[in-house]
Each structure stands twice: as structure tokens, then as C-alpha cells.
Structure 1
């Protein structure tokens, strides 16, 4: 190990030790004190917008020099919308009930003592993410409110912006007497810092990666710490035979086009054969108007060719591809059963939607699709912690253990059992 690598290794270990110590204090901080720090952070962001934009400009200039895509540049930019969302998220999280200490279950033992199951923090949470600087604030406030210390490892693309935001988090913590090490940003772009972080299972209780599939797979394969994750977002819309075509068209276009480079954007469209001839050309024309390329099966291609609408033959690989672009795969299916089987085979258990006016069919879909979020006549773009009333999200999980879907305050908690008695012994 080189001298530089040794210094980074020591730095990350020190951060983790400090975070563990801070987490023990933070677990018992009054709700009011945490809320005051979160609200102060929102004020600091508002007061320092100009200086934050200057730091963000450094990141944007470096990204352009490195040939980053326009879609990634947009995610990196500290826009008015991003700042507004950070402020709204912080203030909403401060207004939410504190999950800590919540009584989940209680049991009175036959021998006279009481068993209570209550929410407590997980401890130290490491968040590893890529270009979006708002993640720094979202994760810091959610961890703070839920009593967890956070270690933030942002991507090199947003390095200067993240450093500036992390300093504001520290100021907010100090302003209300909270441990300044309760939220720390790893101040290096060196990849070796991540390798060290993922091995510190004695100090860190949970890792949450946010970013592309490559990053998430690397974290999952190299972490000694439990990882909560989703690899990709292969979201599917199923247009049932009982759909409202006009409504369905709007939902499909929104799910695909409103922001195509994100994990809750649609990648597949299934359409029932009984309405395909009528509905598919209208839907396809609306998508083509938005610049969407269509990759279609033989049945769909035949229908679209007859209407003079351009498309490309789909391959089996297309059904399981997350395009993150203005591309949509289209397949005609014979039944709701075939649609459900398709989604459970090719989907990523993220977000899937049925478009129908038939209640029984919708309920079959909502029950049969094995995904974290399932929709009935609603755009998949709503899979988001803020939209779900969580204030913000620390990530989206497609796992089935502990947390699933957008993760807010309760998903950042575990529980303990409190047993209170009066001298009982087991015989």
C-alpha cells in the first residue's frame, strides 16, 4: 500500500470511528433539537445559494471537459428546482413524526412482565452515490431525524458541490449542540476510500448505494456490511383490454418521457391484443412525437407498419434492458396472466403499472406482480420518497428484507425489545 493509500485508509477509519461514537449520542437526542438543526440547514442552504452555485460551476466545468453526457450534466446541475426541492424536503422531514421510540408491538407475558417492541436507529449508515448533489442533503437529514450517523461518499463529478453542502450540514449540527461528526463527507475522490469503507463492519451497520448498476454491483460484491439496494429500474406498463385510451396515453408518455434517465421511468409497454389495433397506433404516435424510439415484437410491428409508424424489431435482450433514454420496448400480450408473468420474468421488482378501468383485473395485477411498487392508472414516475410523503428518500430498495420501495425515516430504523418485570425468573 502506498503512502497516499495508507493515509486515505487511516482517514476513512477515523471517520467511521467518529461516526460510531456520534451515533450513540444521536440515538438519544430530543426530537425538537434534531428538527431545529434540520430547519437551520434549510436556512443555511438558502443563505448560501450563490456560493453553492460557484462550487457547482467548478463541477460542471470539469464534467464538460471530461465529456459527460447532457443527461448526466442535468443531474449534476444545482438548479433552482434542485435547491427548491432540497429546501422543501428538509422542512417536510422536520415536520414529520419522529419514528424513534415508537411502540410497534406489546405483549404481556403470563408470568406478569411486559415485552415491548420499539423503533431504534440502525446506527451508522454509509451512503455511496454518484452525480446528484441533492443526495448529500436528503441523506443527511433523513439519517439525522432517524437518529443515525451518516458517512457520505459522493461521486467525483459533484465533489466541490458536495463538500460545500456537507460543510453546511456540520454548521447546522453545531448550531444546536449536536455531534458534528454525526454526518461526515469523505473528502477524497480516491477509489481506495470506498474499498476501506466497505470493510468497516464493526463501525458501520448499513450501506446504501445510489447510482448506476455498475456502482451498485461493485458495492454489493465487495461490502462486508449489509447492503440495501436496487440494481436497475426495468419498469413496465400494461395496457389492459379495458383501458381508457386517452388516459392511458397520457400516463404512458409521462412514465417514459417526463425524465427518461431515471430508475422509475418506463422501459416496457405491454398491450392486450383485443385493444392493440385501436390503442397502439395512438399511443405510439404520441410517443414518437416526443422522440421515443420503439422496439417492438412482431404483432406490434405489423400494427404500426400498417399505420406508417416507424419501429425497430425487438430482441429478447430488449425486454430486460434499462435504456435510461427515449427508447421503449413494446409487446402485444394475450392476457393479464401473460402480462404478469412477463413482468415477473423481465422486470427488476421496481415499479410497474396497469392501465385499466376493470377493478378485478387491476386487483389481480396489483397482487400478482412481485414488485416494490405497483400502480393502477398512475405514472411510475411517482416512485419517490418526496412524492410518497416521506420528505425525501435515502434510496429505493427492491430487496425484500427490512426495507422495500422508497426508503424514508421508518426504513432507517430497526427495533429492540424492552422487557420490564418485577423479579420474574424462568423455571
Structure 2
């Protein structure tokens, strides 16, 4: 007997099906042959438009199988490469040695790894660490990328989120594993004909907030000249780039030209609209950012997010001024000024006529108030709101601070006194 939903006109059925989630699509396609036929395009889009994979043999094998299927490979637009931690691999190895499935409850579950794949996944860490170059991973990833003709984005991030205070506390095995896996991913992109729109070294949530950063060693940005030239073609239409690296793992000063590594990567994406840099507050980063500020030319840059960075105020002001005609959103968090004051940076932001949103947080001291300036939320002109902040900065600190309070340097953004918070309606995060 034909159900009522099967008797709907195709156009009306498509409107109803468009609001269904993946689980509902799976159930509906099992109801009848006609519904299976009608729901198939939507099911393929829901199930395969965003693929998540580890770099273990079973996961890459599934990826290659999808890339070989003509009905599925065209739907893949986002590839999320999720790296397990060394702790995850040790757990999988222990389960593999026990050989009981499902494993005893004393073992924590590793999400995304099926019992029948535990043994093959468990060997990935050892293989990558002991190989001079993980060719097996590279070959499988190249085969998969060649089949994904409509691929638009690659996201590279670890499975576990790392708190900001623990960004440096990554084991030696994890650092080496992530570095070699990242090298494989870049080499595979270079070898194929993909034209990416997004490349992220983190998982993004709520628009621009970073989640699960890769925090790779700075040396991974030392891409050979030939590969950089190839990336210029792969990133020719790239509009979103997220870089998450730390200099503390490398003695980069011994490598000629290390200051230009970030700038060289950014230069491969001439149509960049969204740039996010998550670095560290070392002197090396200040030098690297100076090179970027002096050479970066992104005529379409609209969103600039800078996190955990040491820099000179003049360099950031120069970076902002270079993109004042297009910049719409600026987000600065956990920054340390090596020289200069925030007053010059705020003056540069005032030149951005299209600026709609500005966020400043934890800029020069711990537990610093968060400040948000949003044109739509406040229903005010950005220039006027910036004028209020600039007026505070241009006022001597001793006229703002209470008599019994200690003075604070002008580079300690926002909040030279409680009076500033009251005038600017600053939100102080709880905890």
C-alpha cells in the first residue's frame, strides 16, 4: 500500500525532505523503493558532503572507496582530517593486545574507531614515528583527493581540545606525529588538482571561534619552493586560511629565511578574505609578524583574527592600514606588545571605514576584560565608539586611576581604570 508521503508531488516532497537530518534520511530511504529513489540525492549530500577521517589505514581505505564511487565522490566538499593523540593510540594498542571485542570496560572508548578496525588503526602512530616519510598515508590520501573533484575545504585538527593554558604541553610523540601528518597532507594537496576555498589548522565553531587547534611546530611552515609554487595554484581561490603553530618547539633562528615562512604561506592565497593566526608570544613570532606586515597584500581581506602573538605595535597598525579599505571584522586575543602602545593600533582601526565588529580580549595581562564593539548590536558608528577608546588612551593614566591604585602602562589595553569599563560598558567574563 502506498503511503501518503509517497503520493506527494516530487516538488513538494523535496521541500519536506530538505528539512530532514541525516538519521531521518537513513530511515526514510529504507521505507520503500520509491522513497529510496526520491531521497537519494539529499541523503548523499547529508552523508558525504562533509567527511571526517583519521590517517589510519581503515579510515583512508574508506575514503578511497568513496572517491572511486561516481555517485558519491562529487558530493564531498569538506574533508576533516582528525588526528588521534598518542594516548588514543596507546589505548588502541592495549585493546588490540587483549583481543576482546567489545573491549573490557577498563579501556576508554576512542570515538570513531570501530572494533574491527582497532588493530590496523593502532599501528598508525608507530608507523609514522618510525618512518622517514609515511608513504602509505601519502599514497592513499592522493588517491582520495584525486577523486574528490568538488572538494572545497580541508580541516586539519586533533581529536581532543587543548586548553589555552596547556598549548605548550604536547608530548614529543604527538608533535612529531602531527608534523609528519601535516607534511603528508600538504604534499597530497600539491600532487593533486584540487582548488580549495578553505584550509584550516583548527576546527572552527560559532563563526570565528577556534576549537581543537593543531598547534604544530613552526618548522612545518618551511615548505620547499617548488611546493609553494604548486600551492599558488591550489590556493588560487582560497578565501579562508587558519594557521596554528608554535615556535617553542624549534630553534628556528638557525634556518635561513625563517622570518618569511608565514608570509610565504599567506602569499599563496591572493584572494584571501579570512585570515586567522594562532601563534605564541615569543620574540621569533614578533619577527615573523613583522615580515608578514611588510609584505602581506590581500586586497579582499575582510576578517583578521590574531591570537597568542607577540608583535610590535607599528607592525599591527601597518597590517591594519594596508587592509583598511576592506576589513570588516578584527579579533585580537592574548597579544603582547613588544614595543609601542595600543593607541596607534586603535588609530589605525579608525581608518577602516567598513569595520563592523572589533573584539579585544586578554591583550596584555591575565583576566583582562573582554571588549566588543559591534555596529549592529550597539546601533552606533564604529568611528564614534573608537573615538571614546582613543580618548581614554590619550589621557594620562594618573588622571584616570584612583589615587590609591597602582598605575598601569598604556599598552595594557582597555581598563586603565574602573571608569573606563563603565564608560565603554565592557563585559568582564565570569570565572
TM-score (norm 2): 0.24
Determine which structure has more spread, i.e. the larger CA radius of gyration. 2
TM-score (norm 1): 0.24
Tell me which of the two structures has the higher relative contact order, counting C-alpha pairs closer than 8 angstroms and 6 or more residues apart.
1
